[in-house]
Structure 1
Amino acid sequence: MSDRDGTEVAGDSEDPNDGEQYHLEVGPDDVADAVLLPGNPERVPKVTQFWNESEEVAHHREYRTVTGRYEGTPISVTSTGIGSPSAAIAVEELARVGADTLVRVGSCGAIQPEMAVGDLVITTGAVRQEGTSDEYVREDYPAAADHEVVSALIAAAERLGYEYHTGITMSADSFYAGQGRPGFGGFEAAGSDQLVDNLRDANVANIEMEASAILTLANVYGLRAGAICTVYANRETGEFRTEGENRAAETATLAVKLLAQMDETKREAGVDQWHAGLSLE
């Protein structure tokens, strides 16, 4: 096999390994245990602005990775690009180099009328309307968020004073037809006119494109994962503004610190799971 400049190197790109990863170009010493996962590489500096220190360790294709510290807690961020296929690659390769906690940090469309643009949505579970996770597990396997990650995100949002909602997220494979929007020339996919109404009636909170795959793969591999998104649009009210994305980034960053405190408290208490009987200062 040859590397990108044509030099012959040992190894096989089809053989997963624990060294430098093919797509992310990160190795075991490049990322912290906890990694935030925005989609857009341009959002990475919007995440790291809240950190005390940061250093870019890799940038290949849509995957931009920065590692640093927030109030003494090691933390990383890796952009995943748009959609579940590229997000799943990020999960696979981050897991291979030792990451064990993954938090999607993104934007979404809300479908419940009480959710305002700029509010945060913390995912408790997800509807798997994307095909990537189907290639890992049967279709009735749940995409559930880790309860510790959900608790840390809620605690962080409360401490920061941000408006937030918790609930079920739907992850789609397309921005247009798969989310009930018209395609080019007014094309409408079968059933798209009822999609949002049906999801709303089932008390689904929001729509985005990566959470269900991230949550599913994390559960399959025994990792902690969650998702927090800023509402950019409300599909019920018709409101749309790119507002409040810093809130999700700041909340997720603080949540990583709180998770580290949870882990230390668990070690001191000699328990494996965080629960309401343990205090978090």
Structure 2
Amino acid sequence: MPTVHIGAKSGDIAPTVLMPGDPYRARWAAETFLDNPTCINEVRGMLGFTGTWRGNPVTIHGSGMGMASFSIYANELIRDYGAKTLIRIGSAGAMQPQVKIRDVVLAMSATTLTSPSRGIFRDLNFAPCADYDLLVAAHAAAKTKGIPTHVGGIYSSDVFYDERPDLNEIMTRHGILCVEMEAAELYNLCHRHGVRGLAVLTISDHLQTKEALPSEDRERSFGDMVEIALHAAFP
């Protein structure tokens, strides 16, 4: 039955859910990659669609920006609709010189200062990580497609307009590949509920070089990321 934030009926949500932040990207991805996509949610403008990919049921559902918004949708998708595999597909800012614009980053782990789960862990510095099978399958898919891909730790920030250049320097020095705003909470929730999670990220800008992916190129790069995520879920 519908939840507070998702209007889908029982059975409308597939066990595998891809989650871009932007609801309009969810619509674009569903119309581009899924067969017979049907809109199953539009509560508060957060669009969700379910269709099939190579015969496998898939839902593509927006998450909004930031861990707080992501947590709402992921919790309801897992708890109320039985989602078993959640893959974040989104953009990120590179923090290492070898990570270039348009490259894909597969987040093996996600560092954060705080998240909606922080109140549960209290003094514990829990280290959430990706599902290994999803990670390996995604890397294989990216390699087959010839997409430059990096695997390692990322940083999930709880703010977009960062005022901590000293923190960025520390993370860069410790090998953090890129920064985004949702993956740490995704991994926390997947561990808590015993489901699979992975973040597949396209580099749209670079914190060191100040380069940025032109808007006209974002759709093509986003498409590569969706394909990697689908191949990871159904290798």
TM-score (normalised: structure 1): 0.77
Instruction: Count residues in correspondence.
Output: 227
Match of 2:67 in 1: 84
Would you say the 8 A contact 1:47–1:250 is kept in 2? no
Would you say the 8 A contact 2:20–2:90 is kept in 1? yes
Q: 2:10 aligns with which of 28, 33, 42?
A: 28
> Separation in 1 of the partners of 2:111 and 2:45?
25
Match of 1:210 in 2: 182
Deviations 1:110-153 (A, max 9, x none): 10111111110000010022331213333411111111111121
1:239 alignment partner, SS class:
coil
- Greater radius of gyration (CA): 1
Q: Percent identity?
A: 29
Letter in 1 for 2:114: E
> Separation in 2 of the partners of 1:45 and 1:64?
7
Letter in 2 for 1:83: G
Would you say the 8 A contact 2:27–2:47 is kept in 1? no
Match of 1:182 in 2: none
Q: 1:44 aligns with which of 10, 19, 26?
A: 26
Q: 2:126 aligns with which of 120, 126, 141?
A: 141
> Separation in 1 of the partners of 2:81 and 2:202?
29
Displacement of 1:75 = 0.7
> Separation in 2 of the partners of 1:63 and 1:142?
29
Letter in 2 for 1:146: D
Q: 2:211 aligns with which of 208, 216, 239?
A: 239
Would you say the 8 A contact 2:88–2:198 is kept in 1? yes
Of 106-115 and 159-168, deviating more is 159-168
Match of 1:225 in 2: 197
Would you say the 8 A contact 1:62–1:80 is kept in 2? no
Is residue 2:225 matched to residue 1:251? no
Displacement of 1:62 = 4.7
> Separation in 1 of the partners of 2:33 and 2:188?
28
Displacement of 1:237 = 1.8
Tell me how large the CA RMSD over aligned residues is: 1.4
> Separation in 2 of the partners of 1:174 and 1:234?
17
Letter in 1 for 2:34: W
Displacement of 1:52 = 2.6
Would you say the 8 A contact 2:115–2:184 is kept in 1? no
Structure 1: 4+ residue segments shifted above 4 A:
none
Of 153-162 and 230-239, deviating more is 153-162
Match of 1:185 in 2: none
> Separation in 1 of the partners of 2:9 and 2:109?
30
Match of 1:114 in 2: 98
Would you say the 8 A contact 2:27–2:48 is kept in 1? no
Aligned pair in 2 of structure 1 residues 62, 207: CA closer, same or farther (>3 Å)? farther
Aligned pair in 2 of structure 1 residues 159, 53: CA closer, same or farther (>3 Å)? farther
Letter in 2 for 1:216: N
Would you say the 8 A contact 1:110–1:207 is kept in 2? yes
Displacement of 1:22 = 1.2
Would you say the 8 A contact 1:128–1:143 is kept in 2? no
TM-score (normalised: structure 2): 0.92
Letter in 2 for 1:195: L
> Separation in 2 of the partners of 1:65 and 1:52?
14
Q: 1:99 aligns with which of 74, 83, 90?
A: 83
Structure 2 counterparts to residues 9-24 of structure 1, below 5 A: 19-24=1-6
Displacement of 1:105 = 0.3
Deviations 1:47-98 (A, max 9, x none): 2212233111111125211001111111111100000011011111101211
Displacement of 1:171 = 0.5
Match of 2:167 in 1: 195
Would you say the 8 A contact 1:128–1:213 is kept in 2? no
Match of 2:42 in 1: 59
